[in-house]
Structure 1
Amino acid sequence: MYLLPEPLVLRDITPDDQLFLDALYISSREDLLQINADPEIVLQIIKQQQQVQTAGIRDVYPGAQHFIIAYDGQAIGRVVLHVGERDIRLVDISILPPYRNHGAARLVLQSVQNAAQAQGLGMSMAVTKVNEPARHLYQSQGFVVRSDDGVIEQMVWPASRLQAPMTPA
């Protein structure tokens, strides 16, 4: 359903991926890693936040699709998608720091946009206003702000908008 240029692939998450997912979540919480406290306490806070996020996704998006983003067989990120009646919700996307800014997230996003367009669906997502790299990526792919509460922007991509061919960043 989501076609990517090789060697980039999406694959289902398995129980064997948990250590990777833990490391990925830790790498995505730079805000908490900056806390001036005992590193074990900070790690415990991060683990609790990961549990809250996992439970929240399970509760709000019970039918969500969870994928590992792999490059040449190596896990480099994850994406969580929820296919609804009117849109595909990008619930979460995260890439390990060494693989950021190399086009993987853009290619995944384009693949989901192409699948949404083929199904006559739009896309939606929420992004924090301080996450400038993500906001720039989404805007460059045609997403527009639907609402803004001062902290989080709700962004949408209309299904009627033509999608450019998939190209690396």
Structure 2
Amino acid sequence: MRAGPDIVPPMNQRPKFHLRPIRQDEFPFAEALHLNAMRPLLEDLGAWNEPLRRAAIRRSFKTSDSRVIVYDGRDIGWLQIAERDFDYNIAQIQILDEYCGLGIGSVIMADLLAKAGQEGRTVSLSAVRNNRAIGLYRRLGFAVIDPSVSPIIDMVWNPGSTATATAATQG
């Protein structure tokens, strides 16, 4: 099944952005994005704990796996993807609120899924269960692994999922 235009814009309408390596001294930018994204989601679930979130992001931040998302010359987001033997794990993808809805996250996801599909790898991620991005992940073919009552749900995409990234990127 072809992923529709509501998921990823056609190639000629893709937002103009690029990814660049993140530097260690940019950790405060990544941390602020993470806290800004996570706070309202976890507060809604009664699970916000700022010291715990700060410790978790410090522990997981790796410059080798991370990129800054740059749009119109401005740093607007942060992406961290760990490449493992048979899997890509999306540890973080966060975009400043005022740049959400432009299709940047959709394009990043579709490009990664196309690459993973060509390589025969799965893609995994975890998301706060009330995150609106879960709708995008489902449309792209991600499935929930464990629908427990935890605030965080784990999802996986397998090559050959019903919504294929390769079709989406050919718009």
Q: CA deviation at 1:30?
A: 3.1
Runs (4 or more) in structure 1 with deviation over 4 Å come to: none
- TM-score, structure 1 normalization: 0.75
Partner of residue 55 from structure 2, selected from 41, 51, 57: 51
Which residue number in structure 1 is paired with residue 108 of structure 2? Answer: 108
Partner of residue 30 from structure 1, selected from 34, 39, 63: 39
Q: What stretches of structure 1 of length at least 5 have no aligned partner?
A: 35-44
Distance 2:25 2:57 in 1: 19
> CA RMSD, aligned part only?
3.0
The structure with higher relative contact order (CA 8 Å, sep 6+) is 2
Q: CA deviation at 1:14?
A: 1.4
Partner of residue 20 from structure 1, selected from 4, 7, 29: 29
Distance 2:127 2:52 in 1: 21
Which residue number in structure 1 is paired with residue 142 of structure 2? Answer: 143
Identity fraction in percent: 24
Amino acid of the structure 2 residue aligned with 1:78: W
Distance 2:158 2:41 in 1: 34
- Secondary structure of 2:56's counterpart equals helix
Which residue number in structure 2 is paired with residue 166 of structure 1? Answer: 169
Tell me, yes or no, if the aligned pair for 1:64 and 1:83 is still in contact at 8 Å: no
Distance 1:144 1:99 in 2: 26
- Secondary structure of 1:80's counterpart equals strand
Number of paired residues?
152
Tell me, yes or no, if the aligned pair for 1:87 and 1:122 is still in contact at 8 Å: yes
Q: CA deviation at 1:32?
A: 8.8
Distance 2:41 2:116 in 1: 34
Tell me, yes or no, if the aligned pair for 1:69 and 1:78 is still in contact at 8 Å: yes
